[in-house]
Structure 1
Amino acid sequence: MESKTEATRTIKGTKHLLYQLLRWHRGAWMRINLLVTASVVLLALTVVSVEKVRAEEPFVTVDRFVPHMSSVSANQGERVGIFVREKVNHTLSTKFAGGGHADEGKVVLFVHGGSVPSVPDYDLPFKDYSWMSYLARAGYDTFAMDHSGYGLSPRPMMDDPCNMDTENRALVTPVPLSTDCRPKYSQGLTTSQSDWDEILTVVEFIRALRGVETVSLIGWSAGGPRTAGFAARYPEKIDKLVLFAPGYRRDQPSIPPGHPRGDVPMRLQTKSALEEGRWRSTVACENQIDPGIQTAIWQSIMSFDQRGAVWGPDHGVMRVRTSAGSWGWNREYAAKVTAPTLIMVGEQDFLLESDKQLYEDLTASESKVLVTMECATHFAVWESTQYRFMHEASLEWLESTTLRGETGGRFSVGPIGSDIVRR
């Protein structure tokens, strides 16, 4: 068996090869062929760990690309494929294979936040952190989607490293950029409307596939405006909402801006920026982050960003789409949400105060709960202190529209889901 040093040397050598294979200024036909080659190499590096996880889990996982007519301005009107993962237990899989339908109220779609795609968020192959696995084990048909600009969904204008600001271009010099350049696409990539359009396509696909009228939505961070904003516009298609640290601006405009916002279609996030700058810097309790989970998270992120994996520093970079305009998730539209809504947010989360406002503004929802979690940051779904509580709370909400038997109100919960108290 090779040593850790030898394994590291092998990975670095492979990455150097991929740098050469994916030189962005090659011909388009060659980039396509070499990207396939790069994909095979990257998959070869991860196949052992992935197969080991799958062998131990009693689930069936299906990855699909759902056809969609893009409303993203960079590829407006093109037929694209939106990446969707489905995870079910073997009992349900057998039922579906025999032509059976899902039970009403037993289908869930997960939607990611502003930077990390859905599989690292919700189906992380680390211990029992997978939220999808937890609900699938309980008999739910679970789905997770990647929006345009994320994961394996289309990333128009994001393969060109010139299409970033000066600071981000410096991160990928000299690999793949040998010299500086100017952006060729000078606006943000996606909008609130393009996100809702993609959710509509996926929800309609799921409803037809599983023979159900409604789907429940789970969203984290920027996934809050995406899922809840969608629920406000299509209440007849939604069963329940579970929102984890959802973004919310009470005074956000209700209509789109007159022209596209932003100067570039993407930005970068490094491993250290995610782990240290955004996450560890906000941690308040001991043993809040499980040893080894950050490595698992970054590996999962890189497996869904094969080009970012070979850009910049040794760990690669995460490419993140920019916004060309956000609107329509404010006091007016929060009041249009009728679905029972559970909001979970950490005490150390910068969105805590705005989520309190969101709870107040959900005036049309007869069942709504806001729970504040102690020893929890914006990344609580990956934190040892509260991830199990979040899984359990979401299941109870989906099953009975209650949190510890309560149908509404504000609560706080201690570490590991202990000592829940009404506020």
Structure 2
Amino acid sequence: MNATSAAGQMPQLVTEEMMVATSDPGIEIYLRNKRPAGMSGFRPEQTVLYVHGATYPSETAFDLRLDGLSWMEYIAARGYDVWLLDLRGYGRSTRPPEMSDRPEANGPIVRGVTAVKDIGTAVDFILQKRNIPRLNLLGWSWGTALMATYTTQNVGKVERLVLYAPLWIRQTPSMLQGGPGKLGAYRTVTRDQARERWYAGVPEDKKASLIPAGWFDAWADVTFATDAEGARMSPPVLRAPNGVIQDAIEFFGAGKPYYDPAAITVPTLVLHVEWDHDTPPYMAETLFPLLVNSPGKRHVALPEGTHSVLMEKNRMKLFEAVQAFLDEAKR
């Protein structure tokens, strides 16, 4: 089924947005929820929380309507209570005060420990609001390391774990660049840099057909609009916290695991894509055998797509693979 026909069959969905206070004064995190209208009963196996990667927020990819349908809506239309989270420093969540200063004035902010704490705040909020003991976690890129780390520390609150484009110990140079000299609080990304990074590793004869016409601009427009301060710069930029880069230097780039995969004891899906240069296939292939205590674990390799396949012509292959894994728990 293509996105157009899927959108045409979609039931009415309810959307809610909220800011949730963290334990740190002045810092709030943004949550968005979509679910079928009239949904009154909530169950762990039909509740999903998504978190983004190292540079861009959640809603501008996960809930970006392309061909009339977002991935968030695709899941919600199948009877799920779906949530997304922007970590502090990203999207609609509070930007720490360091982000209004010069990058070099402060050290890297929003490291993994802080991001996992934000995930914990979001999870506890959802579990209390829905009166359920557990939920499914879905992470993309850096978000996979965060969601996996949270799971190792809170396994009783996790039903299933989806790791899309998982980040693991690096054998090749990172696509993330913190800039020259000492690593500052945050980095900036231009629209052209985002486009160049997206296409990295794609065969030349496949580039023209990878992203349907208008889709990159649709994503870039809404993504860069989330950073009002960055939009006023010349050229306009998106600012992203550098905590992830500091973690990458100390862990992923230094051959040290960020978390222990053997501590994950819930069903886990590891999914990678053929042309992913941000988290190359070897990362998923190395990680999967280490999930020795994950019952019913699954490894899916998708062809002809990049790190951002969720916004490319083959995105329905990703949607279908993840949905099949989530739906197993409903049987």
Q: TM-score, normalised by structure 1?
A: 0.67
Quote how far apart the aligned CAs of 1:244 are. Answer: 0.9
Percent identity for Structure 1 against Structure 2: 27
Alpha-carbon distance between aligned partners in 2 of 1:89 and 1:112, rounded to the nearest angstrom: 23
Quote how far apart the aligned CAs of 1:122 are. Answer: 0.3
Quote how far apart the aligned CAs of 1:79 are. Answer: 4.2
1:160-214 Cα offsets, whole Å, 9 max, x none, are: 3522xxxxxxxxxxxxxxxxxxx332x1001111111111110000000011111
Of residues 10, 27, 30 in structure 2, which corresponds to 1:80?
Answer: 27
4+ residue runs of structure 1 moved beyond 4 angstroms? none
SS at 1:267's partner residue?
strand
- Assess, with a 3 A threshold, how the Cα gap between structure 1 residues 105 and 279 changes in structure 2: closer, same or farther: same
Of residues 9, 12, 22 in structure 2, which corresponds to 1:58?
Answer: 12
In structure 2, what is the equivalent of residue 118 of structure 1?
A: 58
Alpha-carbon distance between aligned partners in 2 of 1:250 and 1:292, rounded to the nearest angstrom: 33
1:314-351 Cα offsets, whole Å, 9 max, x none, are: xx211111017435982861110111111111111132
Unaligned runs of 5+ in 1: 1-52, 71-77, 96-100, 164-182, 252-261, 406-423
Quote how far apart the aligned CAs of 1:128 are. Answer: 4.1
Residue 381 in 1 paired to residue 310 in 2?
yes
Quote how far apart the aligned CAs of 1:83 are. Answer: 0.6
Cα contact 1:159–1:307 (8 A) shared by 2: no
Superposition pairs for residues 396-411 of structure 1, below 5 Å?
A: 396-400=324-328
Residue 207 in 1 paired to residue 109 in 2?
no
Quote how far apart the aligned CAs of 1:57 are. Answer: 7.8
In structure 2, what is the equivalent of residue 304 of structure 1?
A: 226
1:17-58 Cα offsets, whole Å, 9 max, x none, are: xxxxxxxxxxxxxxxxxxxxxxxxxxxxxxxxxxxx9xx982
Cα contact 2:148–2:259 (8 A) shared by 1: no
In structure 2, what is the equivalent of residue 69 of structure 1?
A: 23
Alpha-carbon distance between aligned partners in 2 of 1:158 and 1:137, rounded to the nearest angstrom: 39
Quote how far apart the aligned CAs of 1:370 are. Answer: 1.3
Quick check: 144-153 or 120-129, which moved more? 120-129
In structure 2, what is the equivalent of residue 280 of structure 1?
A: 199
Of residues 129, 138, 147 in structure 1, which corresponds to 2:87?
Answer: 147
Quote how far apart the aligned CAs of 1:80 are. Answer: 2.1
Alpha-carbon distance between aligned partners in 1 of 2:75 and 2:124, rounded to the nearest angstrom: 21
Quick check: 295-304 or 222-231, which moved more? 295-304
1:279 counterpart letter in structure 2: W
Cα contact 2:190–2:238 (8 A) shared by 1: yes
In structure 2, what is the equivalent of residue 194 of structure 1?
A: 114
Alpha-carbon distance between aligned partners in 1 of 2:132 and 2:85, rounded to the nearest angstrom: 18
Residue 266 in 1 paired to residue 186 in 2?
yes
Quote how far apart the aligned CAs of 1:104 are. Answer: 2.8
In structure 1, what is the equivalent of residue 266 of structure 2?
A: 339
Quote how far apart the aligned CAs of 1:366 are. Answer: 1.5
1:115-147 Cα offsets, whole Å, 9 max, x none, are: 110001200022245111001100101000011
| Two-structure CA RMSD over aligned residues (Å) | 2.4
Unaligned runs of 5+ in 2: 1-6, 172-181
Residue 371 in 1 paired to residue 300 in 2?
yes
Alpha-carbon distance between aligned partners in 2 of 1:126 and 1:250, rounded to the nearest angstrom: 32
Number of corresponding residues: 301
1:230-262 Cα offsets, whole Å, 9 max, x none, are: 1111110000111110111289xxxxxxxxxx6
In structure 2, what is the equivalent of residue 249 of structure 1?
A: 169
- Assess, with a 3 A threshold, how the Cα gap between structure 1 residues 401 and 376 changes in structure 2: closer, same or farther: farther
In structure 2, what is the equivalent of residue 234 of structure 1?
A: 154
In structure 2, what is the equivalent of residue 45 of structure 1?
A: none
SS at 1:282's partner residue?
coil
SS at 1:287's partner residue?
helix
